[in-house]
């Protein structure tokens, strides 16, 4: 029946599984205070940064990994992981694209990421993170003209220590959770963005993450600050080689929006998901949170999660400023033995705060897909509103969809709505399409695409195309 | 020419037992003819319509169906569609998030591709569909909504007729397209069929009631009972059924 085509559609092989042969500076496996000191000194970090890392490390030592998620995997031996790996470069690091190892540029070329002038056409400034370090950031000059700072996290620590001190860890403290604490101790790089007051960032900012080295954890940190009345749209893409062992990716992303500022953060996550038997693949244990600090500020998360063996992430918004807005749009696809436990938290503190959650889970093969969400209305959040819609689509008899929504209302003026649906891809829908002459394969694409449409339309154009390709669906025609 | 010979089909029910539904259907439809199939609930009318369209849950145990000299029963549903078979569904499904016009364009071009005709571009398609949607009395805004989503019963049926007009089938099967329709919608359906009648296209109209046949005059009327055609006649047979019901025919069923 339909299953044959469904398999073809969802089982497209992983295109980004190649390994780049490149010389790297790599630490021996294991984690200790020494390793953290070494990371910090390699990066010439100021004292405050090392002190913060060490506090995080000692706190992490007291923690145990969270076990409440609807995922299962063997314990990770944190002493067998490598905590730092960087492409070898002749000097301190590449100062311009010309100094970047051509092999690396080739890698990004293969991934379809425009690091060169081509990027200008796309209108996207790119920061590329290879294993643990940021290797190149494009369009710095053009952004500088607008006053926008977009650089690697390491560079920001040296050049803008005041901003780092002021904001780092204020949204996701190192005490937040096990993986956030680990990240705070060992993070090796990441991206930093500051958009000054009143500036609309002239282009989309983008980071591509690539894990290459074996047995290496990737721990990057992203910090985005949108000052009053500014706007920035940020895109994040991820890929990794195919390897038989699991690799850990434990990132932290913090967003801060001041008065009337807007941040739009989009992710297309396509880490290697492991093979059909569930061997290998990335453990994607990520903490992402935004704080709407200012009045009328807005933070919007959009994520397309198709990769990783296990996804554990809950991009959230703290709605502190009055009239602030939080949004979460998500498509998560799990196939084979992939597991995803993802969702969001919307914490309403300010008056008239509003949040929207649209979550679309697609499960195929033996995939397990969980939505986990929390909507919390605090006593101060007069007239807060939330709308949650949570839909699951099942493509096989062996997959699963789970929903754990939590709603906690402490203010009687709040309005909270929750809608949920679970459906199997309908034989009726498929037959209807086929009776009209549409092949079964196209019909499946069309139905899945339609299911995800509410989320796809939130993505910037370039990513919308990529996301639809990822789900192997044809772009919806725009007749008329 | 559309020829059904001794078609027998069954379905496996919830208790995993085989239920025989079609028990030897014989039917010949010449080009240009309109055949009405009438009969009480459960007589197998919709099963016949769906089996002809290629619905997979019906298992065909015997018989053959020739469509323009080809063996219909070995074709996939989409191949039957491109061969010119169209089914107006009794219960059209909703496809959330899929734009109605996009769906129709994909259908039209998919069939044109299989027939090795040039594809319609966006402009030509738009011009054509804006013209046709007026004929079925739907507002243009329906083109930009998701397929059948939130449509009323009548709007869904009009949308089926719109699809039929766009796809210009050589054999259209209308599966109780008239059920639950008001008189205006009924006329729209009838006009849709009549506008396609060109002496070559054929129609099978499955219905419970005679009233559609006031507007859409059949050449032949068949009565189906317990999976068989038990009586065949002219348009006056429909009136007779309206008057007498189906009871008087039941002794004609040979089990």
pLDDT in tens, B213-235: 889 999 999 999 999 999 999 99
* Crossing angle of the two packed helices A3-10 and A440-456, in degrees rounded to 10: 50
Is B101's CB within 8 Å of A479's CB?
yes
Is A437's CB within 8 Å of B163's CB?
no
Q: Is residue B237 part of a domain?
A: yes
pLDDT in tens, B28-38: 999 999 999 99
Q: Both ends of chain B: CA-CA distance in Å?
A: 29
Contacts of A100 (CB under 8 A, 6+ apart): A94, A115, A135, A136
CB–CB of B231/B46 below 8 Å? no
- 3-class SS of residue A388: strand
DSSP E strands: which ranges in A103-261?
A: 124-130, 133-137, 149-152, 189-195, 204-210, 220-226, 231-239, 246-249, 252-257
Q: What domain range includes position A28?
A: 3-470
Task: Give yes or no for B250 touching A (CB within 8 A).
Answer: no
Q: Is residue B95 part of a domain?
A: yes
Q: What is the C-alpha to C-alpha distance for residues A469 and A467, in angstroms, rounded to an integer?
A: 5
Domain count, chain B: 1
Task: Give yes or no for B97 touching A (CB within 8 A).
Answer: yes
Q: Is residue A475 part of a domain?
A: no
State the average pLDDT over residues B1-7.
93
Q: What is the C-alpha to C-alpha distance for residues A415 and A421, in angstroms, rounded to an integer?
A: 20
Q: What is the C-alpha to C-alpha distance for residues A364 and A6, in angstroms, rounded to an integer?
A: 8
The reported pLDDT for the residue numbered A104 is: 57
Residue in this structure with the two tokens 């006053």, named with its chain if needed:
A147
In angstroms, the Cα distances linking B50 to A428, B43, B58 are 11, 14, 8
pLDDT in tens, A275-332: 777 777 788 889 999 999 999 999 999 988 887 788 889 999 999 999 999 999 998 8
Q: What CATH number is associated with residue B207?
A: 3.40.50.300
Q: If you ran DSSP here, which 8-state letter would residue A393 be given?
A: E
Q: Both ends of chain A: CA-CA distance in Å?
A: 35
Q: Is residue B118 part of a domain?
A: yes
Structure tokens at A332: 């998560």
CB–CB of A163/A224 below 8 Å? no
Contacts across the A-B interface (CB distance below 8 Å): 96
Is B101's CB within 8 Å of A1's CB?
no
Q: Is residue A99 part of a domain?
A: yes
Closest CA to B23 of B33, B42, B38, B8: B8
* Nearest-by-CA chain A residue for B146: A450
Q: Which of A358, A422, A435 to mutate to test the interface with B (most CBs of B within 10 A)?
A: A435
Q: Is residue B144 part of a domain?
A: yes
Q: What domain range includes position B166?
A: 23-48+83-252
Q: Is residue A394 part of a domain?
A: yes
Q: What is the C-alpha to C-alpha distance for residues B48 and B54, in angstroms, rounded to an integer?
A: 10
A446 closest CB neighbour out of B80, B106, B163: B106
Is A447's CB within 8 Å of B126's CB?
no
Q: Is residue A450 part of a domain?
A: yes
Is A434's CB within 8 Å of B76's CB?
yes
Q: Among residues 162-191 of chain B, which lie with CB inside 8 Å of chain A?
A: 163, 167
Chain B residues in contact with A439 by the CB 8 A cut-off are 78, 110
Q: Is residue A34 part of a domain?
A: yes
A479 closest CB neighbour out of B78, B97, B125: B125
Instruction: For residue A215, give how far its alpha carbon lies from the nearest alpha carbon of chain B (Å).
Output: 42
The reported pLDDT for the residue numbered B114 is: 86
The A-side interface with B (CB below 8 A) comprises 1, 426-429, 431-440, 442, 446-447, 449-454, 476-480
The reported pLDDT for the residue numbered A332 is: 87
Angle at A19 between CA A191 and CA A122, to 5 degrees: 45
Q: Is residue B60 part of a domain?
A: no
Chain B residues in contact with A435 by the CB 8 A cut-off are 53-54, 77-78, 80-81, 86-87, 89
Closest CA to A312 of A291, A282, A290, A292: A282
Chain centroid, CA A83 distance in Å: 20
Q: If you ran DSSP here, which 8-state letter would residue B57 be given?
A: T
Q: Is residue A479 part of a domain?
A: no
> In what helix (H) or strand (E) does residue B229 lie, and over which residues does it extend?
strand B228-233
Chain A residues in contact with B172 by the CB 8 A cut-off are none
pLDDT in tens, B82-140: 999 999 999 999 998 899 999 999 999 999 988 889 998 888 899 999 999 998 989 99
* Crossing angle of the two packed helices A47-61 and A33-42, in degrees rounded to 10: 150
Q: How many residues does chain A have?
A: 480
pLDDT in tens, A43-62: 889 999 999 999 999 999 99
* Nearest-by-CA chain A residue for B168: A436
Q: Which of A423, A433, A437 to mutate to test the interface with B (most CBs of B within 10 A)?
A: A437
DSSP E strands: which ranges in A270-324?
A: 281-292, 298-305, 310-313, 316-319
Query: Is B192's pLDDT higher than 50?
Result: yes
Rg (CA), chain A: 22
Q: What is the C-alpha to C-alpha distance for residues A4 and B56, in angstroms, rounded to an integer?
A: 14
Is A446's CB within 8 Å of B98's CB?
yes
Is B110's CB within 8 Å of A438's CB?
yes
A453 closest CB neighbour out of B86, B97, B103: B97
Closest CA to A192 of A116, A134, A145: A134
Structure tokens at A230: 């500014």
Is B97's CB within 8 Å of A454's CB?
yes
What are the helix (H) ranges across chain B?
Answer: 45-53, 77-83, 100-114, 122-135, 153-167, 183-196, 212-215, 236-244
Intervals of chain A under pLDDT 50: 1-3, 5-6, 9, 90-94, 114, 116-122, 472-480
Domain count, chain A: 1
Instruction: For residue B77, give how far its alpha carbon lies from the nearest alpha carbon of chain A (Å).
Output: 5
Task: Give yes or no for B125 touching A (CB within 8 A).
Answer: yes
Q: Is residue A14 part of a domain?
A: yes
Structure tokens at A334: 């799990």
Structure tokens at B214: 């006031």
The reported pLDDT for the residue numbered A121 is: 40
Is B54's CB within 8 Å of A434's CB?
yes
Instruction: For residue B176, give how far its alpha carbon lies from the nearest alpha carbon of chain A (Å).
Output: 16
Residue in this structure with the two tokens 């099963």, named with its chain if needed:
B47
Q: Look at the pTM and tell me if it is higher than 0.90.
A: no
A439 closest CB neighbour out of B78, B97, B101: B78
Q: Is residue B241 part of a domain?
A: yes
């Amino acid at each position: 029946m339909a299953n044959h085509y469904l398999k073809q559609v969802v089982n497209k092989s992983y295109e980004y599984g190649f390994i780049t042969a490149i010389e790297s500076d790599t630490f021996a496996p294991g984690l200790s205070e020494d390793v953290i000191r070494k990371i910090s000194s390699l990066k010439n970090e100021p004292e405050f940064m090392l002190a913060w890392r060490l506090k995080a490390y000692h706190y992490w030592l007291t923690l145990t990994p969270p076990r409440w998620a609807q995922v299962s995997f063997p314990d990770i031996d944190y002493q067998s992981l490598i905590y730092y790996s960087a492409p070898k470069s002749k000097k301190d690091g590449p100062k311009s694209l010309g100094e970047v190892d051509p092999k690396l540029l080739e890698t990004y070329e293969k991934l379809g990421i425009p690091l060169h002038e081509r990027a200008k056409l796309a209108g996207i400034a790119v920061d590329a993170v290879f294993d643990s370090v940021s290797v190149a950031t494009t369009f710095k000059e053009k952004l500088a003209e607008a006053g926008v700072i977009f650089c690697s996290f390491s560079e920001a620590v040296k050049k803008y220590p005041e901003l780092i001190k002021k904001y780092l860890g204020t949204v996701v403290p190192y005490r937040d959770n096990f993986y956030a604490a680990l990240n705070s101790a060992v993070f090796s790089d990441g991206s930093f963005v500051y958009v000054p007051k009143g500036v609309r960032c002239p282009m989309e900012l983008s980071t591509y993450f690539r894990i290459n080295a074996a047995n290496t954890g990737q721990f990057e940190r992203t910090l985005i600050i949108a000052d009053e009345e500014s706007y920035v749209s940020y895109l994040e893409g991820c890929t990794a080689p195919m390897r038989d062992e699991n690799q850990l990716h434990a990132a932290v992303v913090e967003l801060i929006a001041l008065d009337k500022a807007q941040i739009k953060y989009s992710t297309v996550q396509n880490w290697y998901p492991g093979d059909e038997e569930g061997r290998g693949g990335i453990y994607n244990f990520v903490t992402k949170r935004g704080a709407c600090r200012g009045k009328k500020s807005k933070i919007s998360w959009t994520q397309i999660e198709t990769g990783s063996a296990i996804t554990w992430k809950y991009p959230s918004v703290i709605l502190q400023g009055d009239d602030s807005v939080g949004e979460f749009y998500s498509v998560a696809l799990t196939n084979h033995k992939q597991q995803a436990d993802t969702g969001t938290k919307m914490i309403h503190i300010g008056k008239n705060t509003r949040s929207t959650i649209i979550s679309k889970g697609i499960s195929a093969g033996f995939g397990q897909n969980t939505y986990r969400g929390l909507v919390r209305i605090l006593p101060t959040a007069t007239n807060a509103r939330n709308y949650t819609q949570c839909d699951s689509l099942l493509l096989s008899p062996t997959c699963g969809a789970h929903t754990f929504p939590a709603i906690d209302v402490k203010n009687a003026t709040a309005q909270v709505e929750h809608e949920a649906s679970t459906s199997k891809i309908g034989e009726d829908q498929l037959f209807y399409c086929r009776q009209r002459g549409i092949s079964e394969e196209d019909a499946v694409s069309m139905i899945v695409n339609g299911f995800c449409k509410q989320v796809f339309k939130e993505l910037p154009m370039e990513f919308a195309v990529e996301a639809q390709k990822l789900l192997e669906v044809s772009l919806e025609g725009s007749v008329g | 020419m559309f020829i059904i010979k001794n078609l027998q089909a069954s379905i496996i029910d919830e208790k995993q037992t085989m239920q025989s539904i079609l028990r030897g259907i014989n039917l010949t439809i010449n080009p240009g003819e309109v055949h009405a199939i009438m009969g009480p609930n459960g007589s197998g009318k919709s099963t016949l319509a769906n089996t002809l369209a290629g619905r997979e849950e019906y298992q065909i145990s015997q018989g053959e169906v020739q469509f323009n000299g080809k063996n219909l029963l070995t074709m996939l549903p989409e191949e039957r569609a491109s061969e010119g078979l169209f089914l107006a569904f009794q219960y059209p499904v909703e496809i959330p998030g899929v734009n109605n016009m996009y769906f129709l364009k994909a259908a039209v071009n998919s069939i044109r591709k299989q027939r090795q005709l040039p594809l319609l571009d966006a402009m030509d398609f738009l011009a054509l569909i804006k013209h046709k949607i007026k004929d079925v009395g739907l507002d243009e805004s329906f083109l930009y909504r998701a397929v059948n989503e939130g449509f009323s019963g009548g709007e869904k049926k009009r949308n089926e007729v719109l699809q039929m007009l766009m796809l210009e089938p050589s054999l259209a099967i209308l599966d109780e397209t008239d059920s639950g329709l008001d008189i205006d919608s009924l006329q729209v359906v009838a006009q849709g069929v009549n506008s396609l009648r060109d002496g070559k296209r054929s129609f099978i109209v499955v219905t419970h009631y005679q009233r559609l046949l006031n507007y859409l005059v059949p050449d032949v009327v068949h009565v189906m009972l317990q999976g068989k055609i038990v009586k065949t006649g002219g348009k006056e047979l429909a009136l007779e059924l309206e008057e007498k019901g189906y009871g008087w025919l039941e002794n004609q069923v040979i089990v």
